[in-house]
Structure 1
């Protein structure tokens, strides 16, 4: 029995499917948590438990990687601040004002923002069809956030939750681009380092929050929400994605990120009972089609370079 389980978990395709499944669940659990805690409280509780869990598992690697971690502490601080703190604070904050379906679909715009940042910061080559893909994906996001009526943007502006989620997307895109400077340490050491940074950044915020709201209350029921985000999106998803990409490469592995909005939207319907409208379907299809087109162009260009 154990051999079959090990064989199953050794499949990069299974690992790269489970990772976006766990990340998609983050939006659903965040929506449930919005009735219990604000964004600061839930993000803080998430990293308290994640640090304890990951630190215990990663302790042997941390001893070996400590000199590299100490030398690159400022890089890790920036990565943790953008990717783990800024993104999650905004995501959980957005869920107080918009649906988990919207948040899930909007996350699909992250590859588009990454492409734009790479072009601006590093003059990375962009092809005509890539630009078309970006336009299609952007229209898909606009359709989602305006409930199928883009004129709302002119008359009323963005819903507060969707606007906050766009800020979250920018944070995670900056984090993703910064990974080119990731220190050469074990995956567990890397995740733990960013989790510790997150906790350190959140300390003054939770202290300020406690002055007005008191300490966040943990009950037998809402404790499961914390356990989910500490184990699945914070630890297992990061680990599975890193291992999957290591086995089949970033180009092939990265496309699995597109499963996040699909899983997130489906779970929002099943778990939260949110209504999946026709504009959600149109927006989701356009976002995925746009990203798929942009990625296909890059893959074709890379294949031509390999053959030449």
Structure 2
């Protein structure tokens, strides 16, 4: 029974991707709980240092045995880890200090469309009108959430430097998602080790920049260390593995669509953990995003 359940779970892309987005949403809550006590690049550095160390201890022989096979892919591995992990996270943190949360949410909501466009352009993936409507619906759900269903908020938006940085960060992660198509046939944990090593080396440079501007803040108490451990094991390791598996099962274009669940899960976790007020627009945005995914995955597929 457990074996059957495991097989059903490991091959259930929507479930895996929904759990992935829940883990990433928890990353947002963890960042808010730290309330600036740990500087952004320290978080990036520590999260990947912990992941790399854990995987090295977990799979030492497999990592060593995979080196001959991965020799030709080493550039791809380090590009994916550096760009998709450290690049995205670092630029996201920079953008967060330069623009509003509303702008961040809207731009991040465009990421599934970036991934889908890349799938069509580079991999000749075919989509139909209903699937395009599904993508638009998920973006509409994000708009309702970040604007709190207030059209005036959207009309008063203005673009700035931080928005361009956020757009670039989303572009990098979209590229990472598309790049997963070329992943070698190796143990996902081994691949994650090399991704995390690349992310760690990239993070060292970002950490030096933060140190130069005297902005470095290391964890100082137990709660800080617990937050770092959560960020390392859930969003950085567990969720990334789920996302990689989801892309493997249904492709980058379809998997990317689930990214628009993340801000909604963040809002729901904020209600549960941070005791934030619950509003009707929370349920409306969730329903619209889920309907958009349903259109794309089920109705669009049969059209």
Q: In structure 2, the residue corresponding to 1:222 is in which secondary structure?
A: helix
1:63-102 equivalences under 5 Å are: 63-93=64-94
- Residue in 2 aligned with 1:183? 184
Q: CA deviation at 1:109?
A: 5.3
Aligned to 1:293: 295
Unaligned 5+ segments in structure 1 are 302-308
Q: For the structure 1 residues 163 and 28, does the alpha-carbon distance in structure 2 shift closer, same or farther, using more than 3 Å as the test?
A: farther
Q: Distance in 2 between matches of 1:8 and 1:106?
A: 37
Query: Is the Cα contact below 8 Å between 2:85 and 2:199 reproduced in 1?
Result: yes
TM-score (normalised: structure 2): 0.79
Instruction: Could you tell me which runs of 5 or more consecutive residues in structure 2 were left unpaired when the two chains were aligned.
Output: none
Q: TM-score scaled to structure 1, two decimals?
A: 0.78
- Aligned-pair CA distance for 1:107: 5.7
Aligned partners of 1:29, 1:7: CA distance in 2, in Å?
34
Q: Structure 1 residues 257 and 144, CA, compared in 2 at 3 Å: closer, same or farther?
A: closer
Matched, 1:275 2:282: no
Which residue is equivalent to 1:61?
A: 62
Match of 2:226 in 1: 224
The answer to whether structure 1 residue 193 and structure 2 residue 160 are counterparts is no
What is the match of residue 21 of structure 1?
Answer: 22
d(CA) in 1 for partners of 2:160, 2:147: 8
**Structure 1 contact 139–286 (Cα < 8 Å) conserved:** yes
Secondary structure in 2 matching 1:143: helix
Counterparts of residues 1-308 of structure 1 (less than 5 Å): 11-12=9-10, 18-93=19-94, 110-157=111-158, 166-213=167-214, 215-219=216-220, 220-240=222-242, 249-250=249-250, 254=255, 260-300=262-302
Contact 1:20 1:237 in 2 (8 A): yes
Distance in structure 1 (CA, Å) of the matches to 2:94 and 2:149: 23
Residues 106-160 of structure 1, C-alpha deviations (whole Å, 9 max, x = no match): 7665433321221233332220111212222233333333343445445432598
Q: CA deviation at 1:263?
A: 3.5
- Please give the alpha-carbon distance, in whole angstroms, between the structure 1 residues aligned to 2:157 and 2:104: 19
Task: Give yes or no for contact 1:134–1:294 (8 Å, CA) kept in 2.
Answer: yes
Relative to structure 1, the CA distance from residue 211 to residue 159 in structure 2 (aligned partners, 3 Å threshold; closer, same or farther) is: closer
Distance (whole Å) between structure 2 residues aligned to residue 278 and residue 30 of structure 1? 25
Would you say the 8 A contact 1:80–1:194 is kept in 2? Answer: yes
Q: CA deviation at 1:218?
A: 1.7
Instruction: Give, in whole Å, the separation in 1 of the partners of 2:246 and 2:141.
Output: 28
- 8 Å Cα contact 1:90/1:167 also seen in 2: yes
Residue-pair matches, total: 294
C-alpha distance in structure 1 between counterparts of 2:260 and 2:39, whole Å: 28
Matches of 1:146 and 1:167, distance apart in 2: 22
Q: SS at the partner of 2:186?
A: coil
Cα deviation, residue 299, structure 1: 3.1
Partners of 1:283 and 1:164 in 2: CA distance: 26
> What is the rounded CA distance, in whole Å, between the counterparts of 2:276 and 2:161 in structure 1?
19
How far apart are the structure 1 equivalents of 2:119 and 2:290? Answer: 20
- Please say if residues 33 and 42 of structure 1, whose CA atoms lie closer than 8 Å, have aligned partners that are also in contact: no
Question: 193-202 vs 84-93, which deviates more?
Answer: 84-93
Per the alignment, in what secondary structure is the counterpart of residue 286 of structure 1?
helix
Shift of 1:195: 0.6
